[in-house]
Amino acid sequence: MDINELITLSQGTLAIMNPTTPEKVLLAGQAAGLREGSRVVEIGCGNGTILALWGREYGVSGLGIEVREDACRRAGQALREAGVRDQITVRCMDAREYVPDEPFDCAASIGASHIWGGFAATLDALMELVTDEGVIIIGDRCWRKEHAPPEFAREWSDVLTGYEILSIVRDVGLDVAAVIRADVDDWDRYESGIWQAILSWLAANPSHPGRDFVIAYLHHLQDEYFGYGREYMDWAMYVLVPGFW
∠45-208-4 over CA atoms, to 5°?
A: 20
Residue range 66-99, pLDDT digits in tens: 999 999 999 999 999 999 999 999 999 999 999 9
In the predicted model, is pLDDT for residue 212 greater than 80?
Answer: yes
Q: In the predicted model, what is the mean pLDDT of the chain? A: 95
Pairwise CA distance, residues 201 & 95, whole Å: 28
Pairwise CA distance, residues 59 & 214, whole Å: 40
| 44 in any annotated domain | yes
Q: Distance from first CA to last CA of the chain, Å, rounded?
A: 48
| 221 in any annotated domain | no
| 101 in any annotated domain | yes
CATH of the domain at 65: 3.40.50.150
Domain limits at 129?
3-183+233-242
What does the buried/exposed string (b/e) look like for 200-227 if buried means 16 or more CB atoms within 10 Å of the residue's CB? ebeeeeeeeeeeeebeebbeebeebbee
Q: How many helices (H) and strands (E) does the chain have?
A: 10, 8
- Quote the pLDDT of residue 245: 64
| 218 in any annotated domain | no
Find all residues with CB under 8 Å of 171, minimum gap 6, and list them: none
What's the structural domain count of the chain? 1
Segment 139-148 shows an average pLDDT of: 88
Query: In 10 A of CB 4, how many CB atoms?
Result: 13
Residue 142: half-sphere exposure toward Cβ, Cα within 13 Å: 23
pLDDT: which is higher, 12 or 194: 194
| 96 in any annotated domain | yes
| 118 in any annotated domain | yes
CA distance readout (Å), 114 to 24, 82, 106, 159: 22, 28, 20, 11
In the predicted model, is pLDDT for residue 148 greater than 90?
Answer: no
| 88 in any annotated domain | yes
Pairwise CA distance, residues 111 & 91, whole Å: 18
| 147 in any annotated domain | yes
